[in-house]
Structure 1
Amino acid sequence: MQKILSGNQVKILDQQYVSGEGISSYQLMERAANAFCDWFVPQFDKDKNIAVYCGKGNNGGDGLAIARILALKGYAVAVGLSGDPETGSADFRQNLRVLPEVIPLSEWDQVQPADIVIDAVFGVGINRPLAGEYLALIRKLNDYTGIKISIDMPSGLPSDAPGEGEIFRADYTVSFQFPKIALLCPEHAAYSGKLVVRSIGISSAYFEAFESGQFFYSGEKLQEYHKTFHAFSHKGDFGRVMLAGGSYGKMGSICLSARAALRSGSGLVFCHVPGCGVEIMQTAVPEAMVMAGEVEKEVAGQLDTTGIDAIGIGPGLGKGEQACNLVYQVLSEYEGPTVLDADALNILVDHPEWLNLLHPKLILTPHVKEFERITGIACKNHFERIKLAGDFARKYGCVLVLKGAFTLVSLPDGKQIFNNSGSVYMATGGSGDVLTGMLTSFLGQGYGIENAAICGVFHHGHAGQLAGKALRRGTIASDIIGKIPESFCQWGIH
């Protein structure tokens, strides 16, 4: 799990690393350039011409090194400079000196449009809107129709604050070692494009000196977050979970949650549904055991939680009186691991006094709008939302999973984990219901609350990636469920 640092901390980290390893900052820059090119070469053919636009700082130095390496690999590369190169950073000037003469070098406004534009104007250091020559440059680049790639950060976008004014609109951003926090904000998606993170070999030991409670998770040591079972494990060992939800016309949600729980390894899945949903459930999910409530069209009656290892409540539940009673029962009487999603969250919005019933064995899974309704605060940007999510988890002692691209897991101890699995093709009805089933399953199997959240969110995203790779926009929630076992196999989970 990679710690995320601020832009100012990055500069200190680089200095400490080169000093501790006995290398030069120029050598570290060369590593970054090679890491970029190792990603670039398999993606783009050599029949495409490339224009690299460089500022005079270290980001521009990265650009010059990349231009040199790509030219040596057979690409047609031109370089455009902005700012006075004589006042550039030491590593920029060194890379300028070793730039091969075969690479055309000129002022930025003299470079012809190219198939691929690489933005190396500004990196993590910028903290104000672009102006003057740089504003004119980025406006020109944004008018190009070719493929646009940023090195580390899109020029004009601060690493730790909302963007203002003109910002380079990248199709890809290649960030080194870890993503800067601004790249994880949805309002910056039009600037960052697809995020690519490449290691430059800085070990985790160098991050220990820096204070940060935010992490970026890409599946490192995933097996260690999972429980293991033995040859004599039986279905009881794999957990008895209960899913409560469904209402007339909304039985699909709870069906998806139940199937996801089963595919995630639950030994026994019980479903508490309205009378109208019994035949639907037993037809759609024959492996589940179904208990009908006392009312035909909405879930009603008391849950029998005897022997239940975890509860998931909310998918398709509705907001009627009976549904409210059920949510209150779970919050006030059940002390085991619990997942609240969908209508259970909407009911919580209507009963803010129940927030005091939240506890350390509880996972809430709101999307952005649900979260803002729960808190009563409409955030101006994702930076505010990230802070609010952390404050909420600490205040109420629960785990909050804020769903979206780079789903954010906030823990009661203040730790926040951005998840790096998933696909835009998961933006489809029922995807959240699948996550509810997966989280409930892991809790029921005896996972700790943090490990359940990490494993559930990561495998949910990875299963979505696998489904989206094959089906693209045709991906539906059932496809994600179908890929859960494949995700386990690819990560060596037994």
Structure 2
Amino acid sequence: MKILTSEQIRKVDAETITREGISSLELMKRAATAFYRFFTEKYTDRNTSVIIFAGVGNNGGDALVVARLLYKAGYSVKAYMVEFSNRYTEDCAHNIRRVKAENIPYKKILNKEDIPDLSPFDVVIDGIFGTGLSREVSGIAADVITRINESGKEVVSIDVPSGLFPDRKTEFAVKATETVTFQIPKLALYLPENAGFTGNVRIVNIGLNQEAIAEAETDIYLTEKREICNLLKPLSKFAHKGTQGHALIIGGSLGKCGSVSLASKAALKTGCGLVTAYLPKCGVPAIQSGFPEAMALEDEGEEHIRSIDYDLKPDAIGIGMGMGLHEETAQAMCQFLQQKRTPLAVDADGLNILSRHPDWLGLLPAGTILTPHPKELQRMIGEWCDDYEKIEKTKALANRYGVILVVKGAYSMIIDGEKIYVNSSGTPALATAGSGDVLTGMITGLLAQGYKPSEAARIGVFLHGMTADIAGECIHPRSFVASDIIENIGNAYRSLEKKN
């Protein structure tokens, strides 16, 4: 699904009106009706009392249509116009007249004294500003937003939280509980620094013209289940372990060999036919007894890797988990990179070694997948002032070295230098020790099966997130551990392949 800029969204709106021969009021009604459906499904009790704040633009018009629909459905509704300007859009002014004609309780807010007490209301609907906001919020609008944020009420924002800039850093905005955005996702809704504003993000279809959306050019996408389904290869009836790929997992040090076991299990569970774990001598007995499906190779080092040396020819390699930062280990990794061109995924201490020796990044095979968490990413690209700069710096690194970065987080981003894919699966349950080791194992297993690096990264990240979505039905997020991810990979595949 395409993620577009606010200017592109305005163009799609205009093209929808032109190509489908509808009025702007009809498009506004479509949007408000989609919001209304979401709201009435979430708040089923018609005794719910609702206060709606509308601005003077088209987002305010949407809010007023929502007020009319909820009032007709039997909800207790009061609408307030936040008059930060006396210049109303035509469609907003039209809906003010309709609200008055239908005797819906309605008032203007011109100064602080006009802001109502929010304590009697159950839910606040925020429709003050939309995606067209171009300057920092001030004046009476800022006063209303502050009152909303201090109220402690559930807040549902229409399209975007008021004050949130779709395409640049936001300092002040409504802190929504839910954001119901209209059909086209906005990048700002998925950035970590905006988490306090956006709450849960829901996308609703408002009938925008599909051809107009298709014509809009972008390099940023929201990954959805349907797209991952289309990337999956069929499993042949005649498949065997020799046709499904061989993954090699390299890592471990004294006290940290469990990470290699997790990654190896994840690689095999993701569908590769064979997996070999390469560890220091101290880790071999544990993995041989704890994970009998894996083959094991021992390094000459007793407690950490000293020389990466093997005879087999794997189809993909994952390296770095639990490996440590010993100088001997770092030099072994350097020699490994100089000699091997096998499809590669690098995680954890492998990334930290590269951060200490940035000139070694040039040794990585084209299409290598790097899977940093925020601190590991910071060591690689330096500090950033906001998430937009972080993305630009990450793209620059990906372009310079021909690599793919999986920037891990609530909405992990796969950045390959040309395109950015924002992942939509997963829950906070994944914030657990070993989760990243499992992800790298999954990606390595997909690489071994012959998926292109970008595909392996996208599928792996989405499947990884789906395990938490699925397991959430029976495992509380606080109790979810990395092994639960592995145990639910098969369930995630089944969900992906289920016929709708």
TM range (shorter): over 0.9
Q: What residue number does 1:395 align with?
A: 400
Question: Counterparts of 1:48 and 1:73 in 2: how far apart (Å)?
Answer: 11
Equivalent positions of 1:84-483 (< 5 A) are 87-99=87-99, 101-108=102-109, 109=114, 111-113=116-118, 114-164=121-171, 166-304=172-310, 306-375=312-381, 377-412=382-417, 414-469=418-473, 470-483=475-488
Question: Counterparts of 1:238 and 1:84 in 2: how far apart (Å)?
Answer: 62
Aligned residue type for 1:433 = D
Q: Which moved more, 1:55-64 or 1:356-365?
A: 356-365
Question: Counterparts of 1:96 and 1:84 in 2: how far apart (Å)?
Answer: 16
Question: Counterparts of 1:77 and 1:229 in 2: how far apart (Å)?
Answer: 54
Quick check: 2:2–2:185 contact (8 Å CA) kept in 1?
no
How far has the Cα of 1:203 moved from its partner? 4.8
Instruction: Say which SS state the counterpart of residue 221 (structure 1) adopts.
Output: helix
Q: What residue number does 2:51 align with?
A: 51
Aligned residue type for 1:17 = T
Change (3 A) 1:101 1:208: closer
Quick check: 2:84–2:140 contact (8 Å CA) kept in 1?
no
Q: Which moved more, 1:306-315 or 1:320-329?
A: 320-329
**Percent identity of equivalent pairs:** 38
Quick check: 1:54–1:61 contact (8 Å CA) kept in 2?
yes
Aligned residue type for 2:405 = L
How far has the Cα of 1:112 moved from its partner? 4.3
Change (3 A) 1:205 1:326: farther
Task: Describe the superposition over 1:366-413 as per-residue Cα deviations: whole angstroms up to 9, x where unpaired.
Answer: 1122112112x200110001111112111111111111121111114x
Instruction: Say which SS state the counterpart of residue 220 (structure 1) adopts.
Output: helix
Instruction: Say which SS state the counterpart of residue 87 (structure 1) adopts.
Output: coil
Question: Counterparts of 2:387 and 2:398 in 1: how far apart (Å)?
Answer: 16
Change (3 A) 1:305 1:93: farther
Aligned residue type for 1:79 = A
Aligned residue type for 1:452 = A
How far has the Cα of 1:284 moved from its partner? 2.2
Q: What residue number does 2:497 align with?
A: 492
Change (3 A) 1:85 1:384: closer
Quick check: 2:244–2:449 contact (8 Å CA) kept in 1?
yes
Question: Counterparts of 1:481 and 1:75 in 2: how far apart (Å)?
Answer: 45
How far has the Cα of 1:98 moved from its partner? 2.7
Quick check: 1:79–1:111 contact (8 Å CA) kept in 2?
no
| TM-score, structure 2 as length reference | 0.94
Instruction: Say which SS state the counterpart of residue 372 (structure 2) adopts.
Output: coil
Change (3 A) 1:336 1:205: farther
Quick check: 2:60–2:128 contact (8 Å CA) kept in 1?
yes
Q: What residue number does 1:37 align with?
A: 36
**Structure 1 vs Structure 2 CA RMSD:** 1.8
Change (3 A) 1:86 1:416: same
Q: What residue number does 1:25 align with?
A: 24
Aligned residue type for 2:445 = S
Question: Counterparts of 2:2 and 2:210 in 1: how far apart (Å)?
Answer: 8
Change (3 A) 1:360 1:86: same
Quick check: 1:78–1:111 contact (8 Å CA) kept in 2?
no
Question: Counterparts of 2:204 and 2:237 in 1: how far apart (Å)?
Answer: 39
Task: Describe the superposition over 1:315-368 as per-residue Cα deviations: whole angstroms up to 9, x where unpaired.
Answer: 101111332133223322221210000000000011111111123231011112
Instruction: Say which SS state the counterpart of residue 167 (structure 1) adopts.
Output: coil
Question: Counterparts of 1:235 and 1:425 in 2: how far apart (Å)?
Answer: 32
Change (3 A) 1:32 1:391: same
Task: Describe the superposition over 1:161-203 as per-residue Cα deviations: whole angstroms up to 9, x where unpaired.
Answer: 1112x32111111111132222222111111111112222335
Task: Describe the superposition over 1:424-472 as per-residue Cα deviations: whole angstroms up to 9, x where unpaired.
Answer: 2211111111110110000001111121111011111111222344312
How far has the Cα of 1:86 moved from its partner? 6.7
Change (3 A) 1:349 1:199: same
Question: Counterparts of 1:305 and 1:10 in 2: how far apart (Å)?
Answer: 55
Task: Describe the superposition over 1:37-90 as per-residue Cα deviations: whole angstroms up to 9, x where unpaired.
Answer: 222222223232111100011111111111222222222211111117973212
Question: Counterparts of 1:253 and 1:225 in 2: how far apart (Å)?
Answer: 28
Q: Which moved more, 1:242-251 or 1:77-86?
A: 77-86
Question: Counterparts of 1:73 and 1:286 in 2: how far apart (Å)?
Answer: 61
Quick check: 2:247–2:448 contact (8 Å CA) kept in 1?
yes
Question: Counterparts of 1:34 and 1:283 in 2: how far apart (Å)?
Answer: 59
Instruction: Say which SS state the counterpart of residue 246 (structure 1) adopts.
Output: coil
Quick check: 1:336–1:361 contact (8 Å CA) kept in 2?
no
Quick check: 1:426–1:468 contact (8 Å CA) kept in 2?
no
Question: Counterparts of 1:305 and 1:27 in 2: how far apart (Å)?
Answer: 68
Aligned residue type for 1:487 = A
Quick check: 1:272–1:303 contact (8 Å CA) kept in 2?
no
Aligned residue type for 2:434 = G
How far has the Cα of 1:143 moved from its partner? 1.4
Change (3 A) 1:276 1:204: farther
Change (3 A) 1:359 1:27: farther
Aligned residue type for 2:170 = G
Which consecutive residues of structure 2, in runs of 5 or more, have no partner in the other structure? none
Question: Counterparts of 1:361 and 1:9 in 2: how far apart (Å)?
Answer: 31
